């Protein structure tokens, strides 16, 4: 006999329906959990993007790109210190050509005080006498070049290097002797050569300090300018003191203190000159038009 109600067939159908409903509910729950996780990830990405945009707006760019402010109020994207890297690589490659593979033309790029060529005023700033000479200059070039490039861009740091280096070379030609009394076997005169990036690097010292001071009077800017300024002033006073006492020697070669001092002064003069140029937003630089 069977109990009144559902039979065995109905029980099997009921169990199958229940299992299908459970499977459907399970899939729906898993889908809901995945949907919640996906929405959470989307919200996280949106919050991160909002933070980047907020930081970029403080810097002056709403797209999240790093920007560099110019004196005339325009901005352009920072190139990742490409200018400083190019200068460092140029010095390193020149040293490898001169001291590594012994390229004969490298010596013609030295600044020959006795018989100088116009291109030597610039090319000598990429030549170095020894590895220690190169490494010391590259370290300071990397540090202060980046500081200048943060404010003035790749073109600014390259032009500051070239202008200050050329000014240091010209000052050396004017103020240093053309020959030394140490020719062959101590007889006659030997030509004096000047090499090294230190004159240009001292120019970047001055430029870095002055551009930091010109960017406003916030506590951070004042602190940066103070730290850099005391270092630059200390280096300059040391150069003046050593030059007044007859100079100094490093690895048997005379140190060109004149180039160091002249490069720094050229950097100061360069920034002073640029600040006197009219900017695009200066009302006095645009001609006024009368109403008809």
Residues annotated as catalytic are 198, 260
List Cα–Cα distances, 83 to 106, 146, 267, in angstroms: 23, 8, 17
CA distance 201 to 232: 11
- Nearest alpha carbon to residue 68 among 155, 144, 140: 155
Helix axes 219-244, 257-276, angle to 10 degrees: 140
CA distance 56 to 250: 47
Six-digit token pair at 83?
A: 């200018």
Residue position matching structure tokens 């610039």: 122
Residue position matching structure tokens 């690589």: 89
Residue position matching structure tokens 């602190």: 223
CA distance 176 to 178: 7
Residue 269 falls in which region: left (phi positive, over 0), alpha (psi -120 to 50) or beta? alpha
């Amino acid at each position: 006999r069977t109990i009144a109600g559902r039979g065995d067939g109905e029980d099997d159908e009921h169990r199958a329906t229940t299992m299908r409903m459970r499977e459907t509910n399970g899939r729906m729950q898993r889908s809901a959990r995945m949907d919640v996780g996906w929405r959470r990830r989307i919200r996280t990405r949106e919050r991160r993007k909002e933070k980047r945009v907020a930081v970029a707006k403080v810097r002056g760019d709403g797209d999240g790109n790093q920007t560099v402010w110019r004196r005339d109020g325009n901005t352009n994207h920072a190139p990742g210190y490409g200018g400083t890297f190019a200068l460092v690589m140029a010095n390193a490659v020149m040293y490898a050509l001169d001291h590594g593979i012994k390229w004969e033309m490298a010596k013609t790029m030295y600044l020959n005080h006795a018989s100088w060529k116009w291109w030597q005023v610039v090319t000598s700033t990429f030549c170095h006498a020894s590895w220690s000479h190169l490494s010391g200059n590259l370290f300071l070039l990397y540090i202060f070049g980046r500081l200048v490039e943060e404010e003035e861009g790749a073109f600014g740091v390259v032009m500051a290097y070239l202008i200050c280096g050329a000014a240091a070379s010209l000052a050396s030609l004017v103020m240093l002797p053309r020959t030394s009394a140490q020719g062959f076997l101590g007889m006659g005169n030997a030509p004096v050569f000047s090499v090294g990036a230190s004159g240009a690097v001292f120019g970047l010292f001055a430029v870095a300090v002055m551009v930091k001071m010109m960017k406003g009077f916030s506590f951070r800017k004042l602190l940066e300018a103070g730290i850099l300024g005391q270092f630059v002033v200390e280096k300059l006073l040391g150069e003046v003191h050593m030059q007044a006492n007859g100079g100094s020697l490093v690895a048997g070669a005379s140190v060109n203190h004149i180039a160091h001092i002249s490069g720094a002064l050229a950097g100061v003069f360069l920034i002073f000159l640029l600040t006197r140029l009219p900017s695009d937003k200066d009302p006095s630089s645009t001609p006024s038009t009368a109403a008809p």
